[in-house]
Amino acid sequence: MSRVPFYLKERLENLKGRVLHEQFEASDLPAWERVVLTWAVLMAFWVVISASFGPGNLVTGAAVTLVIAAFMRDLLTADIRRTGHIVEKLLYFAFIYLPQYIVIMAFRLLESNLRVAKNVILMDINPGIIKIKTDLHSDTGIAILANSITLTPGTLTLDVNKKLGETYLYVHWIEVETLNREKAGEKIKGDIEEWLKKVFW
Amino acid sequence: MIEVFLMLFGEAVMVFGALGILRFPDVYTRLHAASKCDTGGAMGIILALILIMDAPAVVRAKFLVLAFLIAMINPMVSHAIARGAYKYGVKPKVVVDMYAWDNP
């Protein structure tokens, strides 16, 4: 009597994990799109860093970055969530998602600076290490989420733990308000995770 | 006018970060002051420099690349220092430590 629900639950978790893996494999970008995306990013970086528009400079940069992009195509683009056509996705990213992220992070960075100044003056700290759960699965998404959490007010990421297909973050919180995992996650992650789930897997 | 405000903001935040490193009790709270105030102050000063500088736009874009690299690398380094300190055995002064519950 007591063993059957556990068995069924374990079986269901197994199946859910396999469906997630299949979706992840199916949502991979084709190879040439990955090469073109990496090439565009590297070429933009080359133009900005070298700061000259002579034809020899541009041709050299294009050739070298094409060779690098052909070899390193999975480095930047392996974790991008695929919905719709690639051009539509790029336009959405450049004109909606990226300004949204920059505005969110700029205001939270401002708030966190003011809050550290307040904490330094008043010394009203009550620190603790809290464990929260995220819904992201890819390495790039988790890395960007952890960096964003470090820059938001009052929190600092300590470690990441992947267990049974779920990802947990350990966060050092300078002023512990709640110990409940869901409430703490809502308060710490805010709308950054919603943003990241639209772009990364 | 706005570049003067940005410069003053960056320098004030840097001063508060240095004060925080001196006043906070242990490694982790000091890292709070270091990571946040360094990132915010450096980005304020870099934005002020972009506005002040008399140069073509491509040269100003280099400063934006610098700001992006600071915003990427600074939290990563503070995360590495915090994890290394914990693994080395520095005990945090905290009210609740869920990391020690899971790694006995």
Considering only alpha carbons, which residue of chain B is nearest residue A113? B37
| pLDDT band of B23, cuts 50, 70, 90 | confident
- List, for residues B32-47, the tens digit of each pLDDT value: 888 888 888 898 899 8
Query: How much is the pLDDT for A83?
Result: 64
Chain A neighbors of B80, CB-CB under 8 A: none
Query: How much is the pLDDT for A82?
Result: 66
Question: What is the DSSP code string of chain A?
Answer: --HHHHHHHHHHHHHHHHHHHHHHHHTPPPHHHHHHHHHHHHHHHHHHHH----HHHHHHHHHHHHHHHHHSTHHHHTTBPP-S-HHHHHHHIIIIIHHHHHHHHHHHHHHHHHHHHHHHHH---B-EEEEEEE---SHHHHHHHHHHHHHSTTEEEEEEEEETTEEEEEEEESB-----HHHHHHHHHTTHHHHHHHHB-
CB-based contact (8 Å) between A48 and chain B?
yes
Kindly determine whether residue B99 and residue A154, on different chains, have CB atoms separated by under 8 Å.
no
Q: How far is A166 from chain B (nearest CA, A)?
A: 15
Chain B neighbors of A126, CB-CB under 8 A: 95
Lowest average pLDDT, out of A110-114, A161-165, B11-15, goes to: A161-165
- Which residues have C-beta within 8 Å of that of residue A199, sequence separation ≥ 6? A80, A81, A93, A97, A141
Is the CB of residue B33 less than 8 Å from the CB of residue A125? no
Please check the confidence at residue A161 and state whether its pLDDT lies above 60: yes
Give chain B's largest Cα–Cα span: 57
What does the radius of gyration of chain A's CA atoms come to, in whole angstroms? 21
Share of chain A above pLDDT 70, in %: 92
Query: Hey, what are A18's tokens?
Result: 């396999």
- The whole-angstrom separation of Cα B32 and Cα A128 is 13
Chain B neighbors of A112, CB-CB under 8 A: 36, 40
Is the CB of residue B52 less than 8 Å from the CB of residue B3? yes
Please check the confidence at residue B14 and state whether its pLDDT lies above 80: yes
Half-sphere exposure in the Cβ direction for B75 (13 Å, CA): 23
Q: How many CB pairs under 8 A join A and B?
A: 123
Chain B neighbors of A109, CB-CB under 8 A: 36, 39-40, 43
Q: Region A119-128: what's the mean pLDDT?
A: 84
